[in-house]
Structure 1
Amino acid sequence: MSNDIRNNWTLAEIKSVYDTPLLELVYKAATLHRQYNDTAEVQVCTLLSIKTGGCSEDCAYCPQAARYSTGVNVQALMKKEEVLEYAQKAKDAGSTRFCMGAAWREVRDNRDFDRVLDMVKGVNEMGMEVCCTLGMLTGDQAQKLADAGLYAYNHNLDTSKEHYSEIITTRTYDDRLNTLENVRKAGVTVCCGGIIGLGESHDDRIKMLHTLATMPEHPESVPINALVPIPGTPLGENQKVDIWDMVRMIATARILMPATMVRLSAGRTDMSIAEQALCFMAGANSIFAGDKLLTTPNPSFDEDNAMFQLLGLKPRAAFKEEKQYLREAVEA
């Protein structure tokens, strides 16, 4: 089975997969998905903005950039008690991974970072997988997060290296890759994907998937986001992403990275249950649950529970990989 896990994909091979007629592509992805994963399980993650707005970056899609007028109010770093209360609600509603996002360009070694480390410890003690997305990290900072109990770090590539400067000019693609390397070296799992609908070409999407699928180790989670156009941002007038484009991206990601969690992320609010079901069939096995993704709307827990019941899906247990590994070690 592990023969399907490759890190030496060529651009031509990925283009050939991506260009497969859609129903055939979904069939191939679904077949691999079934071999590597329990297709009835979906990882349920909750994302909370612990520090909102006022970011110095110029990401063209983001309502939290200080330079755009989007109606997002700047909010200081939340208190630990509030965050843990939110995490408990998410856990009670069925989430097994809790992700905390701060609108920072990079982590600074200050009291705010110390407070985040404390939050990580608190969520970890609740028995949830804890994830952060805080911008760029040094090796030391990644290690501190790991020592506090961080399970995953999210740092998306967003798009291809070639298209990146059209979307962000305040940091480089290599800055992103360096942070991912620091996270990997600290022993924290990597959550890294991208956004479609940024005005990129199909070739840009293929190149982004190539970067992910040829990393020395595939990211453990790959979120596929559809742009949610926010008025006031440079991409506020962009067209809504076609559902077939999302299905094609998810299926291609599943074929390239069979054992990875492929997350159906931003853009779910605009999708019917039938469209989301197609994404699950194509290989998506992770979602964000809860009313908001940082500052953009998201389906409610109740809506998702109803969808799970209809489709016969169940939330994946927390720390499943570790429990499986320990079981196998004991049996050996």
Structure 2
Amino acid sequence: MTTEKNIRTDWSLDEIKEIYNQPLMDLVYQAATIHRTWHKASEVQVCTLLSVKTGGCPEDCSYCGQAARYHTDIKVKALMSRDEVVSIASRAKAAGSSRFCMAAAWREVRDNKDFDRIIEMVQGVNELGLEVCCTLGMLTENQAKRLQEAGLYAYNHNLDSSENYYDEIITTRTYGDRLNTINHVRKAGITVCSGGIIGLGESHQDRIGMLFTLSTMPKHPESVPVNALARVKGTPLGDLPKTDTWEMVRMIATARILMPASIVRLSAGRAEMTEEEQAWCFMAGANSIFTSESETLLVTPNPGLQQDKKMFETLGLRPMNREKTPAAL
């Protein structure tokens, strides 16, 4: 095992399979060692994720409660105002967040007044000194450039699963569509946030395949969210069993080894995890969480601010300080 500060983008499937299939304790030890070489193990980036436009999405992502075609209890909400979003972002910063992500339940960005309002939101949050992230669906190269000029720091566009399994969970866009958006984001000079979901019914080989795609990109995503399926009643995957925490630990540890410089985000699924289970994820190399003053992660449950504060105190963790100088507008 090497702990040199060396980033590889030429991993083979066989190499990733060998890492992933190690005995769990050996895997976690290797990942924890690499994590401490590249990062301060006691620091965790706290991010706030806000749904600025909720529900009514035309896509058929089989895990998502915001898809209009499924009968869920999710209430459709129109696009929020710029001032309301900036106010929430200001409170998030005061509570310890250093990244603020705005999500809109769109298939793709359209060049209209709603996108103009998103641009205004990005400008307003950027002025607070936060890392500004958006997840808005598919983007053109020109739209990505507009976001970058407004001060966008990161764009989230998850692969969700492997290319081989992708058609089992989504049919309204292709894997290539997702990769194209990531390429547009890169060309615009915006950092990439891209990971996936486990617990969708996929195989271990599918998880390895997704990690292969991420870790062999010309430049690794600066942010890699690892999500456990957040089950929503009324969706095709709403009755699947809870994702096993040890599977999350294995996925996080492998991602940490393959992409040592990236921020690995312990994302959806924390509401069903104990403090001890989350501690294992941090030990395996996770160094970011999502939080929300409404105790939701988009439209699914998430631990509250006070609960996370208590966990940080217990584990000896502290929020990562990543305040940045607002980009020139």
TM-score by structure 2 length? 0.96
Once the 2 structures are TM-superposed, how far is the Cα of residue 3 of structure 1 from its aligned partner?
5.3
Match of 2:232 in 1: 230
Match of 1:112 in 2: 114
Aligned pair count reads 322
Q: What is the distance in 2 between the residues matched to 1:107 and 1:228?
A: 25
Match of 1:148 in 2: 150
Q: Tell me the amino acid that sits aligned with residue 298 of structure 1.
A: N
Q: Tell me the amino acid that sits aligned with residue 321 of structure 2.
A: A
1:318 to 307, 314, 322: 322
Match of 1:286 in 2: 288
1:137-179 CA distance string (max 9 Å, x none): 0000000000000000000000000000000000000000000
Q: Tell me the amino acid that sits aligned with residue 289 of structure 1.
A: T
Q: What is the distance in 2 between the residues matched to 1:238 and 1:170?
A: 22
Q: Tell me the amino acid that sits aligned with residue 316 of structure 1.
A: M
Give 3-state SS (helix, strand or coil) of 1:178's partner.
helix
1:216-264 CA distance string (max 9 Å, x none): 0000000000001111000011110001000000000000001100000
1:218 to 213, 217, 220: 220
Q: How does 1:21-32 map to 2 (within 5 A)?
A: 21-32=23-34
Q: Tell me the amino acid that sits aligned with residue 176 of structure 1.
A: R
* Residue 58 of structure 2 is aligned to residue 66 of structure 1: no
* Residue 103 of structure 2 is aligned to residue 101 of structure 1: yes
Give 3-state SS (helix, strand or coil) of 1:4's partner.
coil
Q: What is the distance in 1 between the residues matched to 2:71 and 2:92?
A: 31
Q: What is the distance in 2 between the residues matched to 1:314 and 1:78?
A: 31
Gaps of 5+ in 1: 324-332
Report runs of 4+ in structure 1 exceeding 6 Å deviation.
Answer: none
Q: What is the distance in 2 between the residues matched to 1:174 and 1:73?
A: 31
- Answer yes or no: is the 8 Å Cα contact 1:50–1:83 preserved in 2: yes
Once the 2 structures are TM-superposed, how far is the Cα of residue 2 of structure 1 from its aligned partner?
5.8
Q: Tell me the amino acid that sits aligned with residue 315 of structure 2.
A: L
Give 3-state SS (helix, strand or coil) of 1:43's partner.
strand
Q: What is the distance in 2 between the residues matched to 1:319 and 1:247?
A: 29
Give 3-state SS (helix, strand or coil) of 2:165's partner.
helix
- Answer yes or no: is the 8 Å Cα contact 2:46–2:289 preserved in 1: yes
Match of 2:310 in 1: 306
Gaps of 5+ in 2: none
- Answer yes or no: is the 8 Å Cα contact 2:5–2:38 preserved in 1: no
Match of 2:206 in 1: 204
Q: How does 1:1-332 map to 2 (within 5 A)?
A: 4-290=6-292, 291-319=295-323
Q: What is the distance in 2 between the residues matched to 1:318 and 1:106?
A: 29
As a proportion of its length, which structure holds more helix?
1
TM-score by structure 1 length? 0.95
Greater CA drift, 115-124 or 75-84: 75-84
Match of 1:327 in 2: none
Once the 2 structures are TM-superposed, how far is the Cα of residue 200 of structure 1 from its aligned partner?
0.2
Query: RMSD of the alignment, in Å?
Result: 1.2
Give 3-state SS (helix, strand or coil) of 2:111's partner.
coil
